[in-house]
């Protein structure tokens, strides 16, 4: 249902189209192309041909196969790391914003601490300490990318907290925890989702960077690692464009796709903007018709 | 008269603002019988809403009840611990908040929002039972049960107010406090909502405290009214008494400020001056600077409560022993009052 609404926005549609291609490659691609070649399976540094679509790397591995597996790893890192970051960021943001006072002060100082540390440097250090395997890289990215989310969610929570329905929920006996869960969370959820898709883009980018700098996962091939190997082999000067263009382009496209979807998400998760798209939860059409006009007058409806 | 369901006695509420204590409600007493509708009337800022919030213990952090008692069904509420109080609020009495536009969560289906208080106060209720009960509540307040699944933006202002009322009735309270429940609604919808409240009162035996600045609303729905001025009780009585024979000069002026569509065409009189600032309230009777009956004693002390008949009581020095506002000419007026009595427009400046 959400997907259909996502498709009704042009940028959402484009983002989804790009993403579904890569998603499909990541999910079923590895089964079709088989395992990554062992070193020396083919002659090294071949140019693209019918047999080797993207040519081979210096160790003689087929680069098309490696790139297909890279899609799986890059997306996995991006999504899992973002979920970690989203959960931490949302919990910290809502707690700080809603509870206020001392809670707010301490939680936000804690957030600021992470915020001022350059993410890349922190991730580099952590990855070097923990050891460069896939799980650690995911954890490192998750733990370093939440402060932005926390700040955004906190500021949104601050405005929600002052709304009448929060007072009313308190009046009929909701505890603070329940208000955060039932009143605040649903109201910041659109923002959380929008932010998560953006975080995924950033996480994929960060993973690529870490790999490129040599502290990415050594136990699996991501796009970043392919780029790193092409770079250290001097693929650019060798004119082996097929070694670095496909993974580079793939990263750019996936990051773009998530950014587009992130922008579209914000609108569609707001029920006030939902009515005209059809496919809303209400089965009775009559109720939809008239109030949809009200929506046009609502301040949020003005956006493109 | 019925035995009192809600009894408020000598309630004093203060707000702490920058180190000073501001007295927003000063010694207010009134009671509400079971099934009775009582209006709490006064100008904006006179402490009506503060009174409601104090009763419900929903005052902002800087406000507190300094003294006085609030009893519900004979039980003292002000000394109740937090937990027990929270369980009783909404079950004993509930509140319809001012401004229905913002009082619903925009991203939650309205039905689910009414389910919340039901399940909080009756944890044994299943979701399905609660949902069914929401349907009944909706029909009770005049909304089709099919609309439970809709979102607040699909409701008009009046419909949202009905949802608010359904929510207030969710845990079957015996008393509902309506804080300006019809303000910001257009007149037709206002009438419908008042009619609905009236019907619910009859059918459910609900007691009602109606907080409003609108005298016609009180006249239409309430049995009795409590007139407040700047946090103090001015006069209380049946709507009939207050209308026919107001004792407090403020009540008299208030009644005089309503245009009479049936009678002679004239401008309503109004009350010269402005309500006092709560930051520096006048001494004694807080109305004295605007009162055309004010005497020395009015500026010195707040008049004691004097009852005339079982329901009618007033706090005013200018009321005679027989229960009549005395002619200002016969009273030792202070200059501001003399000016007002002479209809001197300059007197406004003195307030």
In this prediction, residues A22-41 reach a mean pLDDT of 78
In this prediction, residues A179-204 reach a mean pLDDT of 87
Distance from CA of A123 to the nearest CA of B (A): 37
| Chain-chain contact of B151 with A271 (C-beta, under 8 angstroms) | yes
Q: Which residue has the tokens 């180190």?
A: B19
pLDDT digits (tens, 9 = 90+) for B13-32: 999 988 888 899 998 999 99
| 3-state DSSP assignment of residue A57 | coil
Q: Find the helix packing angle between A134-144 and A185-212, rounded to 10°.
A: 130
pLDDT at B266: 66
Q: Which residue has the higher pLDDT, A78 or A230?
A: A78
Contact status, residue A218 vs residue A228, Cβ threshold 8 Å: no
B77 by Cβ neighbours in 10 Å (0-12 / 13-18 / 19+) ranks as: buried
pLDDT at A233: 77
Distance from CA of A147 to the nearest CA of B (A): 26
In this prediction, residues A152-172 reach a mean pLDDT of 90
How does DSSP classify residue A183? I
| 3-state DSSP assignment of residue A24 | helix
**Which tokens belong to B110?**
């309205």
Closest residue by Cα to residue A261 from A22, A84, A70: A22
Which H or E run contains B338?
helix B335-341
CA distance A104 to A102: 5
Residues 147 through 186 of chain A touching chain B, CB cutoff 8 Å: 163-165, 167-174, 178, 182-183, 186
pLDDT at B181: 86
In this prediction, residues A168-180 reach a mean pLDDT of 89
pLDDT at A278: 40
Which H or E run contains B31?
strand B20-33
pLDDT digits (tens, 9 = 90+) for A73-122: 888 888 999 999 999 999 999 999 999 889 999 999 999 988 888 888 88
pLDDT at B343: 62
Largest Cα span, chain A = 74
Predicted confidence pLDDT, tens digits, chain B (351 residues): 456 899 999 999 999 988 888 899 998 999 999 989 999 998 888 888 899 999 999 888 899 999 999 999 888 988 889 888 988 888 899 998 876 567 888 888 999 999 999 988 888 889 999 999 999 999 988 899 999 999 988 988 888 888 999 999 988 899 999 988 887 788 888 888 889 999 999 888 899 999 988 888 888 889 999 999 998 999 999 998 998 888 998 988 888 777 766 766 666 677 877 888 778 888 889 998 888 888 888 888 899 898 888 889 999 998 888 878 888 888 888 888 888 777 644 444 444
Contact status, residue B317 vs residue B303, Cβ threshold 8 Å: yes
CB nearest to A172's CB, from B106, B117, B150: B117
| 3-state DSSP assignment of residue B280 | coil
- Which CATH code fits B4-229? 3.40.50.300
Cα dihedral A94/A97/A103/A108 (nearest 10): 90
Using the predicted structure, report yes or no on whether residue A222 has a pLDDT greater than 70: yes
Structure pTM?
0.76
Q: Which residue has the higher pLDDT, B231 or A283?
A: B231
The mean-pLDDT minimum among A32-36, A133-137, A260-264 falls in A32-36
**Which tokens belong to A142?**
């998750």
Contact status, residue A271 vs residue B153, Cβ threshold 8 Å: yes
CA distance A106 to A114: 13
**Which tokens belong to B70?**
């609030």
The mean-pLDDT minimum among A119-133, A240-254, A284-298, B329-343 falls in A284-298
In this prediction, residues A16-43 reach a mean pLDDT of 80
Nearest CA in chain A to B60: A167
Query: Where in chain A are the domains?
Result: 2-278
Using the predicted structure, report yes or no on whether residue A301 has a pLDDT greater than 60: no
Q: Return the CATH class of domain B232-350.
A: alpha beta
In this prediction, residues A261-289 reach a mean pLDDT of 53
CA atoms lying within 13 Å on the CB side of residue A101: 3
Q: Return the CATH class of domain A2-278.
A: mainly alpha
| Chain-chain contact of B107 with A271 (C-beta, under 8 angstroms) | yes
Query: Where in chain B are the domains?
Result: 4-229, 232-350
Average pLDDT, whole number, for chain A?
A: 79
Mutation for A interface: B138, B144, B154, B159, most A CBs within 10 A: B154
């Amino acid at each position: 249902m959400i997907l259909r609404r996502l498709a009704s926005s042009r940028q959402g549609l484009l983002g989804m189209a790009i993403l579904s291609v890569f998603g499909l490659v990541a999910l079923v691609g590895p089964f079709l192309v088989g395992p990554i070649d062992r070193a020396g399976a083919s002659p090294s540094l071949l140019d693209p041909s019918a047999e080797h679509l993207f040519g081979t790397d210096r160790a003689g591995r087929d680069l098309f196969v490696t790139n297909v597996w890279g899609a799986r790893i890059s997306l996995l890192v991006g999504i899992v790391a973002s979920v970690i970051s989203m959960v931490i960021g949302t919990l910290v943001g809502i707690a700080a914003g809603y509870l206020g006072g001392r809670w707010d002060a301490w939680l936000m100082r804690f957030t600021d601490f992470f915020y001022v540390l350059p993410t890349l440097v922190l991730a580099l250090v952590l990855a070097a300490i923990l050891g460069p395997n896939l799980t650690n890289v995911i954890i490192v990215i998750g733990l370093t990318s939440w402060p932005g989310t926390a700040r955004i969610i906190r500021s949104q929570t601050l405005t929600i907290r002052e709304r009448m329905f929060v007072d009313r929920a308190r009046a009929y006996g909701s505890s603070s925890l329940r208000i955060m869960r039932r009143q605040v969370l649903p109201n910041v959820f659109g923002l959380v989702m929008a932010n998560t898709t953006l975080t995924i883009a950033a996480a994929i980018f960060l993973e690529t960077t870490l790999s490129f700098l040599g502290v990415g996962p050594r136990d699996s091939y991501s796009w970043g690692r392919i780029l790193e190997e092409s770079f250290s082999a001097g693929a650019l000067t060798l004119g082996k464009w097929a070694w670095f263009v496909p993974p580079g382009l793939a990263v750019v496209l996936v990051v773009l796709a998530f950014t587009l979807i992130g922008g579209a998400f914000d609108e569609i998760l707001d029920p006030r903007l939902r009515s005209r798209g059809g496919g809303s939860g209400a089965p009775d059409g009559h109720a939809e018709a008239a109030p949809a006009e009200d929506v046009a007058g609502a301040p949020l409806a003005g956006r493109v | 008269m019925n035995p009192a369901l809600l009894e408020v006695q000598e309630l004093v509420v203060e707000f702490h603002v920058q180190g000073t204590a501001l007295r927003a409600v000063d010694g207010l007493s009134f009671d509400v019988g079971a099934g009775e509708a009582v209006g709490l009337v006064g100008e904006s800022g006179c402490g009506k809403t503060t009174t409601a919030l104090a009763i419900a213990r929903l005052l902002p952090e800087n406000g507190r009840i300094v003294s006085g008692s609030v009893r519900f069904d004979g039980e003292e509420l002000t000394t109740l611990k937090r937990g027990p109080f929270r369980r009783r609020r909404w079950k004993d009495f509930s509140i319809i908040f001012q401004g229905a536009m913002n009082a619903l969560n925009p991203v939650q289906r309205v039905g689910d929002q009414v389910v919340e208080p039901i399940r909080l106060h009756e944890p044994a209720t299943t979701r399905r039972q609660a949902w069914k009960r929401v349907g009944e509540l909706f029909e009770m307040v005049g909304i089709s049960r099919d609309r439970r699944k809709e979102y607040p933006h699909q409701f008009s202002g009046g419909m949202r107010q009905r949802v608010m009322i359904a929510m207030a009735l969710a845990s079957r309270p015996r008393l509902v406090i309506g804080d300006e429940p019809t303000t910001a609604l257009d007149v037709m919808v206002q009438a419908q909502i008042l009619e609905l409240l009236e019907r619910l009162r009859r059918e459910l035996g609900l007691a009602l405290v109606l907080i409003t600045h609108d005298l016609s609303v009180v006249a239409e729905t309430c049995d009795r009214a409590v007139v407040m001025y700047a946090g103090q009780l001015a006069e209380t009585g049946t709507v009939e008494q207050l209308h026919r024979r107001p004792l407090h000069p403020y009540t008299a002026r208030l009644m005089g400020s309503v245009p009479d569509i049936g009678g002679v065409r004239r401008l309503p009189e109004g009350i010269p001056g402005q309500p006092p600032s709560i930051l520096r309230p006048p001494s004694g009777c807080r109305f004295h600077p605007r009162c055309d009956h004010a005497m020395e004693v009015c500026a010195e002390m707040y008049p004691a409560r004097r009852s005339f008949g079982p329901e009618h009581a007033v706090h005013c020095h200018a009321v005679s022993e027989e229960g009549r506002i005395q002619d200002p000419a016969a009273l030792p007026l202070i200059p501001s009052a003399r000016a007002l009595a002479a209809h001197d427009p300059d007197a406004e400046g003195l307030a």
